[in-house]
Structure 1
C-alpha cells in the first residue's frame, strides 16, 4: 500500500511532489464528465514518468489483435478507447529554458482533487536551471454543464525576475496509445488551423472513421486585467498552437485562460464541425471562467444531493466512498444509450475502455438507487441494441437458432477479447446481463421493459444455455464443460458451480417472464413470440435442464465446489503465502497459480450474493467460511462481495475490513496497479458494500428492505435512496435508525423484518 495522499472528507490531497508515484496520482486525480475526460497530466512539459491520456466517449479503434497462437473464432481486433488530442497543453519558456517540473528544483508543491465542486487544483514554487524562480497555479475542470468542454486557469508569478516569457497554448493530436499492440498511431489528420486566439486539430480514426475536432480559445490576463496580445500561429501535422510573447514583472501574476471543446462525429455532422466548434467556444467564453466554474459547482451539488454518503467519525472511509462516487459520476451520466462504462473510465488505457460484464453485475445497482431510472435503463438498452451482434458472436462459435453469446469485451457488440480461456469460456457474462434485467425490473417495476426489450435478450440467452450444456450419461445430469468462472485463476474447468447455477436461474427466469408478459400484454407478446420464432416447447426443454443440472458439492463440508476436482488441490489458506510473494499474479508463474487453490475473486460466493434468498443463512456461512480464507482478492471486484456477505452473516469487523479495502483500493494502491487507471466498476461495488452490506438493502415482495448495522469505527452514516416513486433519506447512528420520507406520498419500508408506514414528508426514528 502507498499512503502518501492526505485524508480529507471532500478532497484528495498531495502536499508534496512524489515523482515516483506520479502515474498513480495522474489516475487518481483524473477528470471527466461522461463525454470526455483526461488523466491528471501537467499542463506544461513533464519529462518524468507520466502517461498522457485524453479520451472522448464512444470513439474507439480496432487495434489488430496480438496473440502467440491463432485459433479459429479469435476476434481479429481488440477495441480500444483512444488516447485523443491533448487539449490541456501550455508550454512556458523563460530565456530559452522550458518549464519542466521533472528538471526544475521544487521548493513547494500542492495538488488537490476537489470532489465537492469537481476540479483539479495545483500550486508549485520552482526554480529553473537558469536561476529563474516562479510560482505556478492551475485550476481545471471538465464541465458538467457544457459536457463537451473543459477550461483551465493557469497563472505564473515571477519571484526573482522581470522580463519576457513565452507562453504556448497548444493542441496535440499526434499521440499514441501506450497499449498500442504494434506501436501504431490510430489517428489521421483531416485539418488543422489557427487564427487570432483560436486554433483546432481535426482528426479521423483509421478503420472506424470516427472524427473529432478539438479546439481552443485563449485569453491572457495580467494583474487581473485582460490584455490584447496577438498570438503567433503554428500548425503542423496534427498540431496547432498559439504562442504569446509577454513581459512579466516580479511578483505580478500573468494568467492564461484556456477554453477547449471536443466535438465528435457521433454527435455532429462533420460538414458543420467548424461552425459548431466556433459556436461552442463562443458560448463558453462568453460565460467566462468564473461562471463556468460556478456552474460546475452547482452541477456537482445537485449530484451530491442525491448520491452522497455521509460518514461521521472516519475521515479515511468518508474520503474513500466520496472518491468512488465522484469517479462513477464522472464516468457515466446516462444521457446516451450508445455509451457504457469502461473498467477504467477516463482514467487510463487498461482494458481498452471497453464494456465488460462488470457493468451489469456491479454498476447498475448504483445508478438504480441514485439516479432517474432512465440512467440504468439506458445501460440495458445498450445491450439490447447489440443483440444481433451477440447472436453473430454465438454463430461464430457454432451456435444457432437465435442463441446469443454477449461478448466478454466489446465496443459495438462484437467480441474483441482474444484470450481463449476468457473469450470462449467466461460465458457467465451472459447470465450477468440477464440478472441486470431482473434487477432493473424488480427495482423499478418497469414491466413494460420486459416486453419492449427484455424478452428479446432473455430468450436469446436461454437458447445459448440450452445448446451449451450437454447430457452426461454417466451422471444422468446436464453438465457444462470447458468454462472459466469469475475466478480467473481457474481456466477451462468443468461444471463451474457459479456458471451452472446462473444458467439454471436464467432458464427459470425466462419462463417467469414468458408468463408475465403473456398475461400483461397478450396481443403484443404473441406478436413478439411469432417474430422471434418462439415455441412453448422451448420452455419444456428449458425446464428439463433446470430439473437435471449437475452442481458439484462436497457433502462432508456442506459446501458447493467451485468446480469438478477442486478438492484435488492442496487446500491451504492465504496466510500460508509469504507476504513477499503477494500479489501472486505478480510473483508466481501462471502454471503455479492454476494448480493452486487460491481464488482471484468471489466465485461461489458471487452466486450466493446474487441469489442469497435461494440459500439458508447456514449454507451461506459454510460456503463463506470455506472460500474466504482461500481468496487473495487480486481482482478489484472481490472485496465488495465478501463485505456484503460478511455483513449478512453478522461478521461486522470482517465486513468493514473488506469495505475499507474496496473503498481505498486506488487511493492506497492496494494491488500495485493504480498507475494503469482507477477501478471504476469496483467503485460501484464499494457503494454496494455500504448500501447492500452495512444497510442491508434489498427488494422483496415489492418492498424496500433494510437491515442496517453501524460499524464500530463510525458515529453514523447517512444516505439517500430512490426506490420506484419513493425518495428516502436513511441515517444509522448509535441511537438507532432514522428514515425520512422526502416524497409527497406515503410509503412503506421493512427494517429488520418489521414493516413501517411513513407518511409523506415525515420522519420515523427507530
Structure 2
C-alpha cells in the first residue's frame, strides 16, 4: 500500500515528482466524459516510464488470441478499446533544449485533480541541462458538456533567462498498445492536413474499420497578448504538428491554448468525419477556454447535486468516496445504448476496456439511484441487443434451442475471453445479467421492461441453466459440474453454491415473468411463444423440477452452505495466520498452491447471501460470514464492498468500516499494487454500494425503500442522495438522528429500523434513536 496522495475533501493532490509513482498517478489523475478519456500523461515530452493512453468509447480492435494450445469453443480474438490519437501533445524547447522531466532537474512539482469541477492541473519548476529554469502550469479538461472537445491551457514562465521558447502542438496517431499480443500497431492513416495553427488527422483501425478524426487548433500568448510570429508546420504518416517560437526575457510568461476534437464513425459517416472534426474545433475556438470550462464545470456541479456523498469527520473516507463517484460519472453517461463500462474505464489497457459481469453486479445500483432512469435502462438494453450473439456463444459450446450464454468479456456480444477456466466455466455471469433485470424493475417499478426485452433475455438464460445442469442418480438431485465461481482461486469445481443458487433463482424469476406477461400482455406472450419456439408446458415443467431438486453442498455441523463440493477437505488455516511475506498470494504463490489452498479471492458464497439476504436469517448470514471472511484474501477489487455490506447487516460495524475504507481507497493508496495498469472502475460502483447499503443500510424490498443505518464512531455525520420513485431524496445521519429530506413533490414511503413512514412532498422525516 502506498500513501503519497494528500488527503483533501474535493481534490486529489500529489506533491513532488517521484518517477516510480508516475504510472500510478497517470491512472489516478485520468479524465474522461463517457465518450473518450485520457490518462494523465504529460503534454510535453517525457522519456521516462509512462503508459500513454487516449481512448475513444466503442472503438476497438480484435487482437488475435494468443494461447499455448487451442480448445474447441475458444474465441479467436480478445477485443480491446485501443490507444488512439494523442491530442494533448505540446512539445516545448527552451533555447534549443527540449523540455523533458526525465532529464531535467525537477525543483518542485504538484499535480491536482479538482473532482468538483473536472479539472486536471499540473504545475512544476524545472531546470534544464542548459541551466534555464521554467515554471510550467497546465490546466486540462475533457468536456462533459461538449463531449467531442478537449482543452488545454499550458503556461510557461521564464524564471532566470532571456532567449527563445518554441512550442509545438501536435496530433500523433502513430500509437501502440503495450498489451498487443503480437506487438502490432492497430491504426492506418486515412487522411491528414495541417496549416497554420490547425491540423487534422483521420485514422482507421485494422480489421474493424472504425474511423476516428482528431482536430486541433492553438494560439500562443505572451504576457496576455497574442503572438503573431510565423507558424511552421510539419507532417509525416499519422502525425501533424505546428510550431511557433517567441522571444522572452526573464519573467515573461507564454500561454498555449490548445483545443482538440475527437469524432468517430460510430456517430458520423466516414466521409464527413474530417469536416465534423473541424466543425467541433471551430465551435470550441469560438467559445474560448473560459466559456468551455464554465459549461463543463456547471455540468459537473449538476452531477454532484444528485450523486454526492458527504462525510463529516473523516477526510480520507470523504476523498475516497468522491474519487469513486467522480470516476463513475466520467466513465459512463448512459447516453448511448451501444456503450458499456470497462473494468478500467478510460484509465488503462488491462482488461481491454470491454464489458464484464461487473457492470450488472456492481455498477447498475449506482446509476439506478443517481442518474435518470434511461441510463440504467440502457445498460439492460445493451445486453438485450446482444441476445442473438449470446445464443451463438452457447451454440459454440454445444447448447441448443435458444439457450443463451452471455460472454464473460465482450465489446459486441461475442465472447472474447481466452482463459478456459473463465471462458467456459465462469457461467455465473448469466445469473448476474438476469438479476440486473430484477434489480432494475424492483428499483424503478418499470415492470413493462419484461414485455418483451427482459423476458427474452430471461428465457435464453433459463434455457441455458436448464441444459447446464444434469441429474445425479447418486444424489438424486440436479448438479452443476465443472464451473468456476466468483472466487477464481478455485477452478473447475462441482456445485459452486453461488452459481447454482443464481440458476435456481433465475428459473423462479422467469416463471414469475411468464405469469406477468400472460396476465398483462397475453397477445404479446403468444407472439413470443411463436418467435422463440417456447414449449411452455415441457420447458417450465423441467425448470420447476430443477428448482425443487437442485443440490447444494452443506455442512450441517456448522450450519453453512459450502462454496463447492470438497471445500472442507482443504487446510482451513485463516489468512491472519499466513506469514506477511506470503501476501498477496497471487504475487507470491504458484497457481498450483493457490488452487489447493482454501483462500478466497473475493466474495463467492457470500455474493449470493448479499444479493438475497432477505432469504436468510441474520444468524445464518453471521455463520457464513464468520466462516468465509477469515479465509478471504480480498485480492479482487470487487471483494471488500460485499463484505462491508454484509458486515453491517450482521452488526460488525468495525469490519464494515474497515472494508469500506479499503474499497474506497483501493486505487488512491494502491492496495493491490496494480493501480499503474488503470483504475478499478467497476469496483467503484461497489464502493458506492458499500456506503449506501452498509452505513445507510438501504435496500429496496418489493419496490419499497428500507433503511437500517448506522454511523461509524469516528464520523460526525454523513449524507447521500438518491432518486427513487420519481422523488429526489437526501439521506442524513448524525449521532442518534436520522433524516430523509424529500426534495420533490412526490410522496414516498420508507421503512426505517423496522418502522414504516410516509414522507410527504417537500418535507423532512426526522427520526431519533
Shift of 1:616: 1.0
Tell whether the 8 Å contact from 2:168 to 2:242 is kept in structure 1 after alignment: yes
- Superimposed CA distance per residue, residues 346-365 of structure 1 (whole angstroms, 9 cap, x where no aligned partner): 00000000100000000000
Partner of 2:642: 641
Partner of 1:491: 491
Partner of 2:84: 84
Tell whether the 8 Å contact from 2:444 to 2:703 is kept in structure 1 after alignment: no
- Superimposed CA distance per residue, residues 666-697 of structure 1 (whole angstroms, 9 cap, x where no aligned partner): 00000000000000011010000111111111
Is residue 448 from structure 1 mapped to residue 441 from structure 2 by the alignment? no
Distance 2:565 2:188 in 1: 51
Partner of 2:217: 217
Secondary structure of the residue that 2:381 maps to in structure 1? helix
Tell whether the 8 Å contact from 2:442 to 2:702 is kept in structure 1 after alignment: no
- Superimposed CA distance per residue, residues 504-548 of structure 1 (whole angstroms, 9 cap, x where no aligned partner): 000111001100121111122221222111122211110000000
Shift of 1:273: 1.4
Distance 1:512 1:231 in 2: 69
Tell whether the 8 Å contact from 1:348 to 1:678 is kept in structure 2 after alignment: yes
Partner of 2:678: 677
Distance 2:755 2:526 in 1: 41
Partner of 2:716: 715
Tell whether the 8 Å contact from 2:311 to 2:318 is kept in structure 1 after alignment: yes
- Give the 5 Å matches for 1:399-418: 399-418=399-418
Partner of 1:550: 551
Distance 2:765 2:490 in 1: 49
Tell whether the 8 Å contact from 1:75 to 1:417 is kept in structure 2 after alignment: yes
Distance 1:40 1:325 in 2: 18
Distance 1:696 1:377 in 2: 24
Shift of 1:279: 1.1
- Superimposed CA distance per residue, residues 91-136 of structure 1 (whole angstroms, 9 cap, x where no aligned partner): 1112321100111111111110110000100110110001111100
Distance 1:77 1:229 in 2: 50
Partner of 2:22: 22
Tell whether the 8 Å contact from 1:34 to 1:333 is kept in structure 2 after alignment: yes
Partner of 1:534: 534
| Mean Cα deviation higher: 277-286 or 383-392 | 277-286
Partner of 1:600: 601
- Give the 5 Å matches for 1:51-450: 51-450=51-450
Tell whether the 8 Å contact from 1:125 to 1:136 is kept in structure 2 after alignment: yes
Secondary structure of the residue that 2:451 maps to in structure 1? helix
Tell whether the 8 Å contact from 2:227 to 2:246 is kept in structure 1 after alignment: no
Distance 1:542 1:231 in 2: 73
Tell whether the 8 Å contact from 1:220 to 1:229 is kept in structure 2 after alignment: no
- Superimposed CA distance per residue, residues 42-91 of structure 1 (whole angstroms, 9 cap, x where no aligned partner): 00011111100000000000001111111111111000000001100001
TM-score, normalization by structure 1: 0.99
Partner of 2:563: 562
Tell whether the 8 Å contact from 2:725 to 2:748 is kept in structure 1 after alignment: no
Distance 1:520 1:560 in 2: 38
Distance 1:229 1:464 in 2: 69
- Superimposed CA distance per residue, residues 261-316 of structure 1 (whole angstroms, 9 cap, x where no aligned partner): 11000001111112211111111111100111111110100000000000000000
Distance 1:545 1:269 in 2: 50
Partner of 2:509: 509
- Superimposed CA distance per residue, residues 145-204 of structure 1 (whole angstroms, 9 cap, x where no aligned partner): 101110000000001112112111011100100110110000011011101211011100
Partner of 2:611: 610
Shift of 1:570: 0.6
Shift of 1:452: 2.9
Secondary structure of the residue that 2:58 maps to in structure 1? coil
| Mean Cα deviation higher: 665-674 or 156-165 | 156-165
Secondary structure of the residue that 1:82 maps to in structure 2? strand
Secondary structure of the residue that 2:414 maps to in structure 1? coil
Distance 2:446 2:760 in 1: 24
Tell whether the 8 Å contact from 1:5 to 1:14 is kept in structure 2 after alignment: yes
Tell whether the 8 Å contact from 1:48 to 1:102 is kept in structure 2 after alignment: yes
Shift of 1:226: 2.1
Is residue 37 from structure 1 mapped to residue 34 from structure 2 by the alignment? no
Distance 2:439 2:229 in 1: 58
Distance 2:501 2:231 in 1: 66
Is residue 657 from structure 1 mapped to residue 623 from structure 2 by the alignment? no
Shift of 1:702: 2.5
Tell whether the 8 Å contact from 2:145 to 2:295 is kept in structure 1 after alignment: yes
Tell whether the 8 Å contact from 1:203 to 1:213 is kept in structure 2 after alignment: yes
| Mean Cα deviation higher: 339-348 or 755-764 | 755-764
Partner of 1:755: 756
How many residues end up aligned between the 2 structures? 766
Partner of 2:49: 49
Distance 2:705 2:366 in 1: 15
**Deviating 4+ runs (over 3 angstroms):** none
Secondary structure of the residue that 1:72 maps to in structure 2? coil
Shift of 1:249: 2.1
Distance 2:230 2:592 in 1: 64
Alpha-carbon RMSD across the aligned residues, in angstroms, is: 0.8
TM-score, normalization by structure 2: 0.99
Secondary structure of the residue that 1:59 maps to in structure 2? strand
